[in-house]
Structure formats: structure tokens, C-alpha cells
Amino acid sequence: MSDKYSKRRLAGSSITTVVSLSLVLFMLGLLGIIILNTNKLADNVKENIGFQIILNDNAKEADVQHLTKTLNSSAYVKSTEFITKEEAAVRLQKDLGEDFINFLGYNPLLSSINVHLKAGYANADSLSWIEKDMLKSKFVKEVVYQKSLVTMINENVKKISLVILIFSGLLMIIALALINNTIRLSIYSKRFIIKTMQLVGATQKFIRRPFVIKGIKHGIYGAIIAISMLIGVLFFAQKQLPELAELQDEKMLASLFGLVIVLGIIISWISTSLAVRKYLRLKSDDLYY
């Protein structure tokens, strides 16, 4: 009866440790997914920021093609779209709901090139020097973009990133504390076994090894459960919001899942080693307190 009770107690302790590890790793993984998607979403928002190059009426087709090719090969450009004055008139007529050309008697609009920037260049400083560079061309009349909107978007992205960073740091500390306490409680139940092995002459390394190996296994099991839960959450979220699928990067997710496994192993290894070390240093009388 005593052996069965001890086995059940040990099994219960292992299950509790694995479940606690999996829940904490799940929270950390979920936070990682949120951070990745927030960065991706921020980049998408930034890449929708662009500017419009208004061309002079005397701009030749060859000049326009050369400028478009130059822009497309630039490090800061994601995409370009050339709009003729006729296309611009059609779009404006649709927006206004009336034919303003018949009313005015001519088309006052000019041909233009819409340029979308890469996320890293979607800021006021980059747009300022890009504008100066574009205005050097004789057939470029002006460069149009909303400076206040660019500034506002970048400031909001920085604020959101800072909040997420602080929250991530706090959650990481709480997660480490929870895992450490769970493993320490698990080792606490085996403190007499540790001391007995030490008294019969076993070295600290010999005593520590089986506990560390078991801790690493618990970390791997917890990570696998956490990853399964994360995949389930992602599947459910994409089913409810299909647009989320566009934000997912399979390589980054695979890296995140790998990181979850590594975290599970490292945290379990360190926490188990420290807990065993503590009881190896305690005197026999102190084990009862």
C-alpha cells in the first residue's frame, strides 16, 4: 500500500509539474505570437504609407518609364503604380459621382506615380530626403504625402511596442517564478531521498543527474503540450478571422515553437539544478522544516 501511495504521489507530482510548465509555456508562446503579429501588422500599416509624385504635363513617356524603373529598384520602395491623367480623371469622377471635365471643359489633373514604401523607410526623415531627391527631376512637379499622418502612425507604433515590451518582461518574470516554484515543490517531496543518497556516499553530480534528466523531460513534454495548444488557438482564430492567415509566417512560427521547446528545457534544467543543490547543502535536521 505504501509503495502504491508513493508511486501515485510521484506520478501526481510529475503531472502537476508538466501541466504547470505547459500552461506557462503556452502563455509565453501566445505572447510571442501576439508580438510577431503586432510587428507584422505594424509593418503592413507602415507599408500602406506612401507618397504621390505629380508629374509635369511635358513629362515624356521614356522619362516616366526610367523614373518608375529607378523607383522599383530602390531599397526603400515596395511598389509603384503609374496613373495617367485620364485614369486619374475616371477615379475622381467615380468619387465625386459627376463628370467634372464636362463642367470645366478640360482635364485639370496631371499624371502621377503612387509609391508605397517599405516599412523601414515609412518615417518623416526618410520621406523628407526622398522628396528632395525626387524634386531634382525636371519633369517632377511636386511630391505629395501626409506628414502629420506619417508622424502619428510611427508614434503610435512606438507606444504600442513599448507597452507590449513592458508587458512581455513582466509576464516573463512571473512565468519564470511560477515554473521555478512548481519544480521546487516537486523536488521538496524528494528531499529525504536526496539526503539519503548523499549520506551513503553518492556525489552531488550523481545525485543531481536523474533529477535534471527528469526535469528536462518534463520541460519537453510541457513544451509539446503548449505547442499543441498554440496550434489549436491559431486554427480556431483563423477559422473565425480568415484575414489572420495573411499575417502568419510559417518560418517565424516554426522558430517560435522551437524557442518554446528550448525555453522549456533550459528553465526546467536550471530550476531543477538549483532546487537539488539547495537540498544537498541543507543539514539533515533542516529537512523537517
What pLDDT is stored for residue 1 in this prediction? 42
Rounded mean pLDDT, 14-35? 82
69-87 tens-digit pLDDT: 888 888 888 888 888 888 8
Q: What is the mean pLDDT of the chain?
A: 79
| Whether 279 contacts 287, CB under 8 Å | yes
Q: CA-based angle 129:68:134, to the nearest 5?
A: 25
| Whether 20 contacts 217, CB under 8 Å | no
Q: How confident is the model at residue 225 (pLDDT cuts 50, 70, 90)?
A: very high
Q: Is the pTM of this model over 0.75?
A: no
Residue 87 CA, distance from chain mean position:
40
| Parts of the chain belonging to CATH 3.30.70.3040 | 50-144
What pLDDT is stored for residue 244 in this prediction? 65
What is the SS3 string spanning 115-154? EEECHHHCCHHHHHHHHHHHCCCCCEEEEECCHHHHHHHH
DSSP state of 245: G
Which stretch, 118-127, 199-208, 254-263, has highest mean pLDDT? 254-263
pLDDT at 57 over 90: no
Grid cell at residue 215: 526535469
What pLDDT is stored for residue 135 in this prediction? 85
Q: Cα separation of 118 and 72, whole Å? A: 11
pLDDT at 5 over 70: no
Q: How confident is the model at residue 138 (pLDDT cuts 50, 70, 90)?
A: confident
The 77-83 sheet, strands edge to edge: 77-83, 112-117, 50-55, 140-144
What pLDDT is stored for residue 214 in this prediction? 85
What pLDDT is stored for residue 6 in this prediction? 47
145-161 tens-digit pLDDT: 877 777 787 788 788 87
Radius of gyration of the chain (CA): 31
pLDDT at 13 over 70: no
pLDDT at 162 over 70: yes
Q: How many CB atoms lie within 10 A of CB 150?
A: 22
pLDDT at 228 over 90: yes
What pLDDT is stored for residue 288 in this prediction? 56
Rounded mean pLDDT, 42-60? 81
Q: Could you give the residue ranges of the DSSP H alpha helices within the chain?
A: 2-47, 61-72, 85-96, 100-104, 124-134, 147-188, 191-199, 204-240, 250-281
What pLDDT is stored for residue 120 in this prediction? 82
pLDDT over 90, % of the chain = 4
Q: Which CATH architecture has domain 50-144?
A: 2-Layer Sandwich (3.30)
Q: How confident is the model at residue 227 (pLDDT cuts 50, 70, 90)?
A: very high
Q: How confident is the model at residue 4 (pLDDT cuts 50, 70, 90)?
A: low
pLDDT at 18 over 60: yes
105-116 tens-digit pLDDT: 777 778 888 888
Q: Cα separation of 43 and 205, whole Å? A: 50
Q: How confident is the model at residue 179 (pLDDT cuts 50, 70, 90)?
A: confident
Q: Cα separation of 226 and 241, whole Å? A: 22
What pLDDT is stored for residue 26 in this prediction? 87
DSSP state of 105: S
